[in-house]
Amino acid sequence: MKILFIGFGNVAKEMARIFMKKDLYPALDISPEVIGIFTGRHGGLENKEGIDLNSVLKELEQTNRLTPDESKLSPLTPLEAAKNLDYDVLVELSALSIEGKGEPAASHVRAALRRGKSVASANKGPVSFSYGELRDLAEMNGALYLFESAVMDGAPVFNFCSRCMKGAAVRGFSGILNGTTNFILSHMEKGGSMEDGIRIAQEAGIAEADPSMDIDGWDPAAKAAALANVLMGADITPLEVEREGIRAITPKMAQDALRRGTRLKLICRGSRDGNKVRTSVRVEEIKKDDIFCLISHYGSAVRIESDLMHPNTIVQECPDLLDTAYGVIEDLITIGDHLNRCKD
pLDDT digits (tens, 9 = 90+) for 114-126: 999 999 999 999 9
135-167 as b/e: b if 16+ CB within 10 A: eebbeeeebbbbbbbbbbbbbbbbbebeeebee
The one-letter code for the residue type at 114 is R
CA separation (Å) from 324 to 12, 253, 304, 328?
A: 9, 32, 21, 7
DSSP assignment letter at 79: H
Sequence-ordered list of residues with C-beta below 8 angstroms from that of 71, at least 6 positions apart, any chain? none
* DSSP letter (8 states) at residue 71: G
Mean pLDDT computed over 78-104: 95
pLDDT band (50, 70, 90) for residue 151? very high
Cα-trace Rg, the chain: 20
pLDDT in tens, 217-253: 999 999 999 999 999 999 999 999 999 999 999 999 9
Q: Determine whether 101 is an active site residue.
A: no
Ordered by start, the domain boundaries in the chain are: 2-154+322-343, 162-318
Kindly report, residue by residue over 163-211, the tens digit of the pLDDT: 999 999 999 999 999 999 999 999 999 999 999 999 998 888 777 768 8
- Under a CB-based contact definition with an 8 Å cutoff, are residues 338 and 141 in contact? no
Residue 24 — φ and ψ, nearest 5°? -80, -15
Confidence at residue 36, expressed as pLDDT on a 0 to 100 scale: 97
Cα angle at 212 between 224 and 150, to 5 degrees?
35
Q: Classify strands 33-38 and 44-46 as parallel, antiparallel or unpaired.
A: antiparallel
Calculate the alpha carbon distances from 73 to 157, 184, 198 in Å: 38, 41, 36
- The residue type of 312 is N
- 198 φ/ψ angles, rounded to the nearest 5 degrees: -65, -45
Q: At what angle do helices 10-20 and 53-63 cross, to 10 degrees?
A: 140
> What's the pTM?
0.94
Of the CATH numbers 3.40.640.10, 3.30.360.10, 3.10.20.30, 3.40.50.300, which one belongs to the domain with range 162-318?
A: 3.30.360.10
Burial class (CB in 10 A: 0-12, 13-18, 19+), 250: exposed
In this model, does residue 103 exceed pLDDT 80?
A: yes
Quickly list DSSP for 111-176: HHHHTT-EEEE--HHHHHHSHHHHHHHHHHTT--EE-GGGSGGG-SHHHHHHHHSTTPPEEEEEEE
Integer CA distances (angstroms), 174 to 43, 148, 298, in order: 40, 17, 17
CATH of domain 2-154+322-343: 3.40.50.720
Write down the pLDDT at residue 128. Answer: 97
Q: Which of 194, 141, 175 is closest to 304 using CA atoms?
A: 175
pLDDT digits (tens, 9 = 90+) for 253-309: 999 999 999 999 999 999 998 889 999 999 999 999 999 999 988 999 999 999 999
Among residues 223, 276, 287, 288, which one is catalytic? 223
- According to the model, what pLDDT value does residue 80 have? 97
